[in-house]
């Protein structure tokens, strides 16, 4: 019998309302019984169900084939191909193995061994959901009555499983300021660079029209990114004749696809980019019109680093007449370069400040620092200039738009760094110089000047309010809820001036003691608090948990699922349950609902949900309960205006973006003309942020801030100092650079290490990772291919198998993330490979709070 999706959902709906499987009114034990009954009532026959894969951040559309209620195969949803997603990856195709995984968590667990540690058996005891909720509610009620900030909520992948909004609404209703998530381990430095440059964040290369694509350590094809749209847009671009140059220390899959691989020395990109900038400027091959119209390049800067402003506070420019004028005076003919005396003081244009800043960035200097031949710096600058087609326009659908078909793009390659913000600012400045921002074929910015507050200096508060020290004097522009500082602060709040000791931590789909740098030290904080973990398998985090709650997987639960918009499309999607393999009665969304209810916060939660989700037409109502399905229905209807039946059949609705919205809505609206803020080529407000750091440190006699390092971090322009992160300066006895990266066969950590296909069927190379060592380096160190070696850094050691390759710089080794799990709750086959994070130094960016993952230096020796 073949059953349609609509028929199936009707059946499920009937089961749900009849048995209360999804109903939060039900008592826990009762719900579990009913879940079993529901599972037994799966319809017979073959059926196709559309949904969204949420095993990584790409949210691919999927179509699953069920046979008698059992998932037999997962295919890509062809309907989404025209919008963003053409196919699925090995993880997506084998995702059912993560759901049918026999090592899944099935019942709530209570720890009975009070000692926490890597080798401590927690001595779990199974408990009922009722007892689990009661324990958690009691703990939370106590904390709430005392000081709600003593609760710290963490989510990692959880951000995508149920969105940021549900947890954010919960902490708002509860009253704690302490919610942290994973963005600060991903790309927060890039977001903060965007925010401090153009007042918003998020940008994408316009690959449909790009002719020259520079990729600085963005890792598509391996670390899948942006809905795999990036992979396909790159392939399509290349078929059209686009040239792609990959600049990074390692021969990545992207490098394998590229026309050229430039093996950059780790962490030195900023010098390379500034050397390119100098060449472009010296050769007079820059987009002057762009700089004058959209950026603060002509604004005057004093010797104190600040902008010269008129009586009304508006920044001034130097008119060709020799008088200053307001930057946005339509009558002004401003100078782009030069130094001028105003009221007996010397001022330079911001552009001149850049020219002076990079005067030493010769091709020879770039060669010395970055290990890239000087001749290639010179020739690449020429290539960029030719490809940029200065002054040209392209007519698309009858609309002329600026045409600068060169895009310089990056992701964690420049962001997962101690100077991540400055690295990314350098890349933005390169795009500014060639005028590629918001041009056809260039770099498209999300919503320029949508948040002008990002362009203001930080108040550098002290004492800090939040456990992650965000926006405090420690991380003044940390706007993305830094997670990796938390355990240090929890371990010793007084050192940071935090006025309270956190008591309870909840971890929802995140694996912090495995995923952060200097990971072993991170465990100390978790030993001090009572911890609840919500996951689908045992992990390194459960090793430190007091209570563990099982969750349903992405194939078992509802969500108004995210998608990734692309330069040309926007969409909405849902995720829907198709099985419930272990009859688990709750999942992320319903756990939160139940908690709020038991804490007496249900109506406050409803208010917060409406606000966080920005609901307008259809909203959550007070005084009633919602099943997870009903919550998704509210969200779908408000966001799409379409009936929910449509969602259950198609799981997706998409639309194409018109030319105006694509090219003329961002900087054209936000940065051009009178009264509009200009893009900050020169980030003058960082000078004031630094001054506020100095003042706060002095006023409070703060001992653990190195002001000289803050001065360097807060320079208003990226500079050569930003190519020398702490380990590069200090770890003199450690000769090799150590970098890490993603692999296509894993998403992060935890559950996927237990997927039998990805661990057994695809062979040994997939089941583990290795140390990539240049052949010449291996020979010099007496290391043969396959030999065991020890990586030693200033913070730890990691042992693993060597893979000799030409695909890495001789002064660098690379180890992928994801492998070498050690949780006692995992089967041995999931533990293969190297856990590199125990050996990575942690140096958060002093602007963004984003962690450095790729700055460490090491020794390599035969094991
Ligand atoms: N060396 C090195 N370290 C890295 C990286 C790197 O490239 N190199 N990458 C960094 C990056 S970009 C990030 S984002 C962080 C991520 O690190 P974290 O934020 O710590 O963890 P996540 O990988 O987001 O979450 C993984 C957890 O979610 C669980 N999970 C999966 N599906 C479900 C589900 O349906 N329900 C529940 N409740 N749990 C589920 C998994 O079992 C696992 O325990 O790691 C960072 N760490
Ligand atoms: N298969 C898979 N896909 C994923 C994930 C996953 O776990 N698995 N995670 C998702 C998440 S949460 C994220 S944040 C994204 C991350 O997406 P990416 O940032 O694209 O991926 P990473 O592998 O973290 O990127 C690091 C890249 O930078 C390079 N690199 C390291 N140091 C330097 C340097 O100094 N300079 C330059 N130029 N390059 C350098 C590395 O060689 C590597 O290729 O991936 C997402 N997609
Ligand atoms: S790329 Fe990510 S979302 Fe897409 S199929 Fe693979 S795991 Fe799923
Ligand atoms: Mo990430």
Ligand 3 binding pocket includes 88 (Cβ within 6 Å): yes
Please report, for the chain, how many H helices and E strands are present, in that order.
33, 31
Q: How far is the CA of 203 from the centre of ligand 1 (A)?
A: 23
89 Cβ closer than 6 Å to some ligand 3 atom: yes
Residue 87 Cα to ligand 4 middle (Å): 21
Residues with CB under 6 A from ligand 1: 156-157, 161, 182, 185-186, 508-512, 515, 534-537, 539, 551, 553-554, 740-742, 748-751, 817, 836-837, 840, 853
Digit-coded pLDDT (tens) for 187-201: 999 999 999 999 999
Residue 95 CA, ligand 2 centroid: distance in Å: 22
Is the CB–ligand 3 distance for residue 222 below 6 Å?
no
- What's the 218 CA to ligand 4 centre distance in angstroms? 12
Question: Which residues lie below 8 Å from residue 523, measured CB to CB, with a gap of 6+?
Answer: 116, 117, 118, 487, 513, 544
Dihedral sign from CA coordinates of 381, 424, 455, 347: negative
Instruction: Say if residues 445 and 667 touch (Cβ distance below 8 Å).
Output: yes
Which portions of the chain are predicted below pLDDT 70? 1-43
What phi and psi values does residue 731 have, to the nearest 5 degrees? -85, 65
Beta carbon of 221 within 6 Å of any ligand 3 atom: no
Report the separation in Å between the CA atom of 157 and the middle of ligand 1, taken as the mean of its atom positions.
6
Q: Is the peptide bond before 507 cis (omega within 30 degrees of 0)?
A: no
Quickly tell me which residue has 């005067």 as its tokens: 359
Handedness of CA 281, 286, 288, 293 (dihedral sign): negative
Instruction: Report which protein residue has its CA nearest ligand 1's atom 26.
Output: 510
Beta strands in 716-838 (DSSP E): 736-741, 771-774, 788-792, 797-805, 812-816
pLDDT in tens, 802-824: 999 999 999 999 999 999 999 99
DSSP structure string for 500-541: S---EEEEES--HHHHSSSHHHHHHHHHHSEEEEEESS--TT
Distance separating alpha carbons of residues 710 and 817, to the nearest angstrom:
30
- Contact criterion met (CB below 8 Å) for 161 and 510: no
Nearest atom, ligand 2, residue 58 CA? 47
Tokens encoding 855: 């700055």
CA-closest residue to ligand 1 atom 44: 750
Q: What is the atom index within ligand 2 of the atom nearest the CA of 252?
A: 44
Q: What value, to the nearest 5°, has the Cα angle with vertex 45 and ends 40 and 48? A: 100
**Atom number, ligand 1, closest to the C-alpha of residue 98:** 32
| 194 Cβ contact list (under 8 Å, min separation 6) | 200, 201, 202, 203, 424, 428, 445, 446
CA of 217 from ligand 2 middle (Å) equals 7
Nearest to 839 by CA among 520, 377, 486: 520
**DSSP state, residue 657:** P
587, 579 Cβ separation under 8 angstroms: no
Closest Cα to atom 8 of ligand 2: 747
Q: What is the pLDDT of residue 43?
A: 60
pLDDT at 227: 78
pLDDT value for 625: 97
Cα 378 from Cα 364, distance rounded (Å): 10
**Among candidate residues 52, 458, 462, 385, the one with its CA nearest the CA of residue 212:** 385
d(CA 665, CA 781): 56
Tokens 């057994």 belong to which residue?
A: 760
> 260-262 and 339-342 as β-strands: parallel, antiparallel, unpaired?
unpaired
Under DSSP, is residue 380 helix (H, G, I), strand (E, B) or coil? helix
Close Cβ partners of 115 (under 8 Å, ≥ 6 residues apart): none
Q: Whose CA is nearest to atom 14 of ligand 2?
A: 186
Q: Is the Cβ atom of 858 under 6 angstroms away from ligand 3?
A: no
Backbone angles phi and psi of 56, in degrees to 5: -145, -170
Q: What are phi and psi of 842, to 5 degrees?
A: -115, 115
Instruction: Choose which residue among 51, 76, 92 to substitute to test ligand 3 binding: the one with the highest number of ligand atoms within 8 A of its C-beta.
Output: 92
Pocket probe mutation, ligand 2, options 93, 187, 202, 223, max atoms within 8 Å of Cβ = 223
Ligand 3 center–CA 379 separation, angstroms: 38
Distance 186 CA to ligand 2 centre (A): 8
DSSP 427: H
* Ligand 3 touching residue 60 (CB < 6 A): yes
Angle at 204 between CA 441 and CA 569, to 5 degrees: 90
């Amino acid at each position: 019998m073949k059953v349609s999706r609509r028929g199936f959902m009707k059946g499920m709906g009937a089961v749900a309302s009849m048995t209360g499987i999804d109903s939060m009114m039900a008592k826990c034990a009762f719900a579990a019984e009913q879940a079993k009954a529901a599972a037994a009532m799966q319809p017979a026959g073959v059926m196709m169900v559309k949904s969204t894969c949420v095993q990584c951040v790409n949210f691919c559309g999927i179509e699953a084939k069920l046979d008698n209620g059992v998932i037999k195969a997962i295919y890509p949803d062809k309907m989404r191909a025209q919008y963003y997603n053409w196919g699925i990856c090995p993880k997506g195709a084998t995702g059912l193995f993560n759901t049918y995984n026999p090592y899944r968590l099935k019942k709530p667990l209570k720890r009975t061994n009070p000692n926490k540690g890597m080798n401590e058996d927690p001595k779990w005891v199974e408990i009922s959901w009722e007892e689990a909720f009661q324990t958690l509610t009691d703990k939370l009620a106590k904390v709430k009555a005392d000081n709600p900030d003593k609760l710290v909520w963490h989510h990692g992948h959880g951000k995508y499983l149920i969105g940021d909004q549900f947890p954010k609404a919960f902490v708002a209703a509860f009253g704690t300021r302490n919610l942290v998530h994973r963005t600060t381990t991903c790309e927060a430095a890039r977001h903060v660079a965007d925010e401090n440059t153009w007042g918003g964040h998020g940008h994408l290369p316009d690959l449909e029209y790009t002719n020259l694509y520079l990729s600085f350590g963005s890792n598509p094809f391996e670390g899948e990114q942006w809905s795999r749209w990036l992979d396909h847009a790159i392939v399509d671009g290349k078929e059209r004749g686009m040239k792609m140059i990959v600049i990074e220390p390692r021969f990545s899959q992207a490098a394998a696809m590229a026309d050229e691989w430039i093996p950059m020395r780790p962490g030195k990109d900023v010098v390379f980019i500034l050397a390119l900038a100098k060449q472009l400027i010296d050769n007079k091959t820059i987009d002057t019109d762009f700089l004058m119209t959209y950026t603060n390049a002509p604004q005057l800067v004093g010797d104190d680093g600040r902008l010269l402003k008129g009586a009304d506070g508006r920044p001034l420019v130097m008119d060709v007449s020799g008088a200053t004028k307001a930057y946005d005076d339509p009558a002004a003919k401003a100078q782009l370069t030069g130094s001028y005396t105003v009221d007996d003081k010397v001022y330079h244009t911001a552009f001149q400040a850049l020219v002076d800043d990079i005067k030493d960035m010769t091709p020879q200097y770039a060669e010395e620092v970055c290990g890239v031949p000087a001749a290639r710096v010179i020739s690449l600058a020429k290539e960029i200039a030719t490809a940029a087609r200065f002054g040209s326009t392209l007519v698309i659908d009858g609309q002329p738009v600026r045409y600068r078909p060169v895009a310089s793009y990056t992701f964690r390659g420049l962001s997962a760094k101690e100077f991540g913000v400055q690295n990314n600012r350098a890349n933005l400045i390169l795009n500014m110089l060639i005028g590629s921002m918001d041009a056809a074929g260039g770099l498209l910015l999300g919503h320029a000047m949508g948040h002008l507050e990002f362009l203001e200096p930080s108040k550098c508060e002290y004492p800090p309010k939040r456990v992650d020290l965000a926006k405090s004097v420690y991380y003044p522009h940390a706007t993305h809820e830094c997670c990796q500082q938390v355990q240090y602060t929890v371990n010793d709040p007084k050192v940071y001036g935090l006025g309270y000791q956190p008591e309870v931590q909840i971890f929802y789909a995140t694996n912090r003691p495995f995923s952060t740098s200097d990971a072993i030290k991170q465990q100390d904080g978790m030993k001090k608090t009572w911890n609840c973990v919500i996951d689908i398998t045992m992990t390194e985090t459960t090793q430190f948990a007091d209570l563990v709650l099982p969750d349903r997987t992405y194939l078992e639960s509802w969500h108004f699922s995210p998608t990734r918009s692309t330069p040309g499309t926007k969409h909405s999607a849902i995720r829907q349950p198709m099985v419930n393999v272990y009859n688990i009665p709750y999942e992320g969304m319903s756990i939160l609902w139940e908690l709020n209810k038991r804490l007496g916060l249900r109506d406050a939660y409803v208010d917060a949900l409406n606000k966080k989700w920005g609901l307008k037409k259809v909203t959550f109502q007070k005084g009633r309960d919602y099943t997870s399905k009903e919550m998704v229905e509210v969200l779908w209807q408000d966001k799409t205006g379409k009936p929910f039946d449509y969602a259950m059949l198609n799981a997706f609705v998409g639309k194409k973006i018109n030319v105006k919205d694509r090219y003329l809505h961002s900087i054209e609206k936000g940065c051009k003309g009178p009264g509009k803020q200009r893009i900050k080529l020169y980030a003058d407000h960082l000078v004031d942020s630094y001054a506020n750091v100095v003042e706060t440190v002095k006023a409070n006699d703060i001992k653990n801030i190195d002001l000289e390092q803050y001065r360097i971090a807060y320079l208003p322009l990226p500079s050569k100092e930003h190519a020398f992160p702490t380990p590069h300066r200090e770890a003199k006895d450690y000769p090799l650079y150590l970098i890490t990266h993603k692999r296509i066969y894993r998403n992060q950590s935890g559950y996927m290490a237990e997927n039998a296909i990805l661990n057994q069927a695809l062979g040994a190379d997939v089941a583990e990772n290795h140390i990539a060592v240049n052949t010449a380096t291996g020979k010099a160190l007496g290391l043969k291919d396959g030999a065991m070696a020890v990586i030693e850094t200033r913070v730890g050691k990691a042992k693993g198998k060597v893979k000799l390759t030409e695909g890495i710089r001789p002064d660098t080794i690379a180890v992928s993330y994801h492998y070498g799990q050690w949780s006692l709750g995992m089967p041995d086959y999931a533990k293969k490979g190297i856990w590199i994070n125990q050996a990575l130094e942690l140096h958060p960016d002093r602007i963004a709070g984003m962690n450095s993952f790729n700055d460490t230096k090491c020794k390599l020796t035969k094991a």
